[in-house]
A and B are shown apart, each in its own frame.
Chain A
Amino acid sequence: MKRLESVNDFVIKFANVNGTGSASANNMFAKALFRMGLPVSPKNIFPSNIQGLPTWYEVRVSEKGYLGRRGGVDIALSVNPQSMAQDIQEVEEGGYFIYDNTKPLDLRLVRNDVNIIGIPLTRICNDEYSDPRQRQLFKNVIYVGALAALLDMDFKVLTDLVKDQFKGKEKLILPNIHALELGHQYAKANLECPIGIRVKTSDKVGDKILLDGNTALGLGAIYGGATVAAWYPITPSTSVVDAYEKYVRRVRIDPGTGEKNYAIVQAEDELSAIGMVIGASWNGARAFTATSGPGVSLMSEFLGLAYFAEIPTVLFDVQRAGPSTGMPTRTQQSDILSAAYASHGDTKQVLLFPSTPKECFDFGAQSFDLAERLQTPIILMTDLDLGMNDNMSEPLEWDDARQYDRGKVMTAEQLEDGIEFGRYLDVDGDAICYRTYPGTHPKRGAFFTRGTSRDEYAVYTEKGEEYEKNMLRLMRKWDTIKEYVPQPEVVEASEKTDVAVLYYGTSEESSRESLDHLAGEGIHLNAMRVRAFPFNDDVKAFIEDHEQVFVIEQNRDAQLRTLLMAEFEFGPDKLKSVLCFDGTPISARNISKQIRQHLSGGAIEPLHRTKIASQAGESA
């Protein structure tokens, strides 16, 4: 039988039961490979359920450094009878299926083109442990030990990892190492080790770190100087504030007095959370909230107020699959339009699109500078894939000389000097006006903040020309904003081409991998990664310079494409969609497949997105 062979290049998928403690064992496996110097990208695929339903953990190992989803599974490790039929079906021809053979495998499931490996995990546990909880927990650690033998991993890396992970809980170290050994020894003694897929210590990790985007965002908020966090629990954004709280406790409590240089309020709902952020920012503190799609819907009215009244506001949107409750624990990039135009009336919101934890940190901190400089909401868009999975990333860095950009705020002295103050006066010609913090000066600088129309001195008015003047200034401000937000990144193909791709956020990794593959087939494409909305003129020029541009995104309705068409008035034939919206991260194979279809026969054939949508669901 064919046997997949490779060194340091494979996809392994663990199939477990939610709530059985498998997450930490699977994580240990991924981290050990990372410590062996191998680029890894683990992805949790879990149900919206606390216990009992199937959950998967897919680890991509790629010496070449590809971190996106490749598509396909080389090794399936299935300890969940519920999903076994599906798990074995997903394995590539010649791949490996590892299961708990305490009970025999249902003969109907057996595939002749897959190498089947049985390990009696339950029996080993039952022989070794009497406590039911231990039997369950250590079963996971045992299969990690067995994998170490099957893949020829450096066993010491695993034991060192256990020692590091349980620092402070020393009692747990030996039992965990013992469980690893149980699995390792069983495999060595009873199975053919190693299998065709192996790992070898490498040097491809360098000083990189493994970090999830939400933690990076929480840290970004601390470094960005956020003192007020208001939020309402929702997957997958909850851990942003959890991380903020965890670290802020370490660094912002005065050891002498116990006083806190921060305030975290768990609000009663998202309406309240964003209201608190707006109130705090209005008063000159840096504040943020984190939420996901349903929360953004609820926050819309307030976002319109913040846009129109020009109040700095920072919102982190960790997207999940919608609409409505959709698939709460699956990933998508489908809040783009509702965030970009959040709220009624003519509103435009600034969006940032980080694609790595490092960028979550950088953009997270920068959001506060941008919000205060531009006096408008900044919505940072990540997604479950980036937010909740460990991603390999450049290390985080901070320039200690960096000062915060507090934007245009008039001080008491400036007001005292008699400088004319009009809250909505465009003094500098960049359409950004001066504000004052409440309580600044006894006689000057007080103004009324309101969502109703007003003149340049913040006095209520319904005069059409005043309203128009204000709305047109806001449009000019939109142009100013283009200079401040992160600029797009361009990657040119090695050969001249008039076809390109455009992507953002978590689609980056798979897109880049797909472009490499396509280049190998002679299909060369230039690439642009958009990092913010408003799009600047480079984005427009890039699209204009190409005959055709594929827009890669993870939603059904091609939302970024719609936004590009709306903002630049491109015709529908210019921009073609490459989509994935089944709730899993888009894979490189899927992208390549869709682009090949578009380009079949070498001719650029306009393909309407409805045709694509029908095929995009396959998580190829």
Chain B
Amino acid sequence: MSYQIPKFRHPELPVNDLGYTKADYEGSISTLCAGCGHDSISGAIVKACHELSIEPHKIAKMSGIGCSSKSPTYFLGKSHGFNSVHGRMPSVVTGAAMANRDLIYLGVSGDGDTASIGMGQFAHVARRNLNMVYIVMNNGCYGLTKGQDSATADEGSVSKKGDANVFSAIDLCSTALQMGATFVARSFSGDKEQLVPLIKAAISHRGFALIDVVSPCVTFNNNAGSTKSYEFVREHAEATGTVDFVPMQKEITTDYAPGSSHEVTLHDGSSIHLYKMSEDLDPFDRTSALMNMEKHRTAGDILTGLIYMDKDSRDLHDVLETSRRPLNTLDAEDLCPGNQMLKNINASLR
């Protein structure tokens, strides 16, 4: 159940060039767990679109299935939205973008949605350089189906069942780079300072723009042993007859300077190391981008920031040489070759 946000707003809220307040970019009140990283990303999307003065109805927000994929309900209430099927958002966006090149396509997905069931579509939408923003809300686990490991979970990380993950992790940024993506960035859900400009840049980029956002799951990234863990709390909760319990948590935020590394503690007490790309790193070189990521991965860091961008990117419409006029505006007069042509075809078939 989604709730409509109350209409009343303070009259002096800041407006953008279009005269819209931030509220014009919001959606229904979120029903995700309190403190879920995905909500922070929704907030960053709202801020970025407001600041860019985009007409909200010119954005199509698309997603697959999962907690993350639900989040489009919680931003851009005046835009058309599309929750497709699990992992297959990229193809739906591809079709939509083919039909109308004049909208902005914002795809939202989870790491389960993208790196497992949707890996094929993810790879191919990157290689086709579809003009879209693809945000992965990456929590290393499946939220909506309650905590299984996802393919981006680090080897050795412990799932809610208490088992250590024995498989190596898929790095979505490296994958996208290798598939030919023309804009690749990584960020952290709680780092608005970094995330908002990245979203803005991704929207402005012509071509496929991936932002892989580390987004902690309040409820399931809590390993056994931690008193904050779901397991721990549930055990204690069951004593009181409660069958379901989701801990209230605060959103994890962070703010640190480019070129520096920073340790972020997750809800379960474990931590991740973020390394923000320094501003003098060249993001226009695919090879060095790949090497940089690998270097930091080996060091146990997650490299964040704009990792790669192709300034001369040619998107799918450029490659296919599709008409400037959106295909969905063409009608019978433009499309139908008429009866005379059929007469000629008939004649050639006798």
Q: Mark B1-20, 1 if CB is under 8 A from A, else 0.
A: 11000000000000000000
Per the bound structure, the CA–CA distance linking A222 and B332 in Å amounts to 10
Question: Across the interface, which residues of B come within 8 angstroms of A280, CB to CB?
Answer: 95-96, 98-99, 327-328
- Does residue B337 face the partner (Cβ distance < 8 Å to A)? yes
Question: Across the interface, which residues of B come within 8 angstroms of A274, CB to CB?
Answer: 91
Question: Across the interface, which residues of B come within 8 angstroms of A305, CB to CB?
Answer: 84-85
Q: Are B323 and A259 in contact (CB under 8 A)?
A: yes
Q: Mark A260-301, 1 if CB is under 8 A from B, else 0.
A: 111111011101111111111111110100000000000001
Per the bound structure, the CA–CA distance linking A440 and B56 in Å amounts to 11
- Does residue B299 face the partner (Cβ distance < 8 Å to A)? no
Interface centre among A205, A264, A275, A395 (most CB of B within 10 A): A275
Nearest CB of chain B from residue A30's CB, rounded to whole Å: 13
Please judge, given known A-B contacts A259-B323, A261-B327, A399-B339, whether A276 and B94 are in contact too, CB under 8 Å.
Answer: yes
User: Which listed residue, B60, B78, B124, touches A443 by the CB 8 Å rule?
Assistant: B78
Q: Scan residues 81-118 of chain B and give those whose CB is less than 8 A from a CB of chain A.
A: 81-85, 88, 90-100, 102-103
Q: Are A263 and B337 in contact (CB under 8 A)?
A: no
Please judge, given known A-B contacts A276-B91, A446-B79, whether A439 and B103 are in contact too, CB under 8 Å.
Answer: yes
Nearest CB of chain B from residue A528's CB, rounded to whole Å: 30
Interface contact tally, CB-CB below 8 A: 234
Q: Mark B305-342, 1 if CB is under 8 A from A, else 0.
A: 00000000000010011111001101110111111011
Q: Are A448 and B82 in contact (CB under 8 A)?
A: yes
Nearest CB in chain B to that of A251: its residue: B337
Question: Across the interface, which residues of A come within 8 angstroms of B97, CB to CB?
Answer: 279
Q: Are B73 and A228 in contact (CB under 8 A)?
A: no
Q: Are B120 and A442 in contact (CB under 8 A)?
A: no
Question: Across the interface, which residues of A come within 8 angstroms of B124, CB to CB?
Answer: 267-268, 272
- Does residue B243 face the partner (Cβ distance < 8 Å to A)? no
Q: Are B98 and A251 in contact (CB under 8 A)?
A: no
Nearest CB of chain A from residue B347's CB, rounded to whole Å: 9
Interface centre among B81, B95, B103, B339 (most CB of A within 10 A): B95
Question: Across the interface, which residues of A come within 8 angstroms of B93, CB to CB?
Answer: 279
Per the bound structure, the CA–CA distance linking A448 and B77 in Å amounts to 9
- Give the interface segment out of A327-335, A449-457, A482-490, A504-512: A449-457
- Does residue B236 face the partner (Cβ distance < 8 Å to A)? no
Q: Scan residues 422-453 of chain A and give those whose CB is less than 8 A from a CB of chain B.
A: 436-443, 446-452
Nearest CB of chain B from residue A367's CB, rounded to whole Å: 15
Q: Are B88 and A259 in contact (CB under 8 A)?
A: no
User: Which listed residue, B78, B92, B102, B330, touches A227 by the CB 8 Å rule?
Assistant: B330
Q: Are A261 and B334 in contact (CB under 8 A)?
A: yes
Question: Across the interface, which residues of B come within 8 angstroms of A399, CB to CB?
Answer: 339
Q: Are B73 and A283 in contact (CB under 8 A)?
A: no
Per the bound structure, the CA–CA distance linking A265 and B79 in Å amounts to 26
- Does residue B297 face the partner (Cβ distance < 8 Å to A)? no
Please judge, given known A-B contacts A275-B84, A448-B82, A449-B80, whether A263 and B92 are in contact too, CB under 8 Å.
Answer: no
- Give the interface segment out of A174-182, A400-408, A576-584: A400-408
Q: Scan residues 57-73 of chain B and give those whose CB is less than 8 A from a CB of chain A.
A: 57-58, 60, 62, 72-73
Question: Across the interface, which residues of A come within 8 angstroms of B336, CB to CB?
Answer: 222-223, 225, 398, 402
Please judge, given known A-B contacts A279-B99, A452-B83, whether A225 and B331 are in contact too, CB under 8 Å.
Answer: yes
Nearest CB in chain B to that of A438: its residue: B80
6 tightest CB-CB pairs across the interface, nearest first? A279-B95, A275-B91, A285-B99, A276-B95, A438-B80, A280-B95
Q: List 7 A-B contacts (CB under 8 A).
A: A230-B91, A230-B94, A271-B91, A279-B95, A283-B95, A404-B332, A439-B103
**20 further interface pairs, Cβ-Cβ under 8 Å (given A283-B103, A437-B328, A446-B78):** A35-B350, A207-B346, A223-B336, A225-B332, A230-B91, A251-B337, A260-B320, A268-B124, A275-B92, A275-B95, A278-B95, A279-B94, A282-B96, A283-B60, A400-B338, A402-B336, A438-B57, A439-B60, A439-B103, A449-B82
Residues of chain B touching chain A, judged by Cβ–Cβ distance below 8 Å, are 1-2, 55-58, 60, 62, 72-73, 77-85, 88, 90-100, 102-103, 120-121, 123-124, 128, 317, 320-324, 327-328, 330-332, 334-339, 341-343, 345-346, 349-350
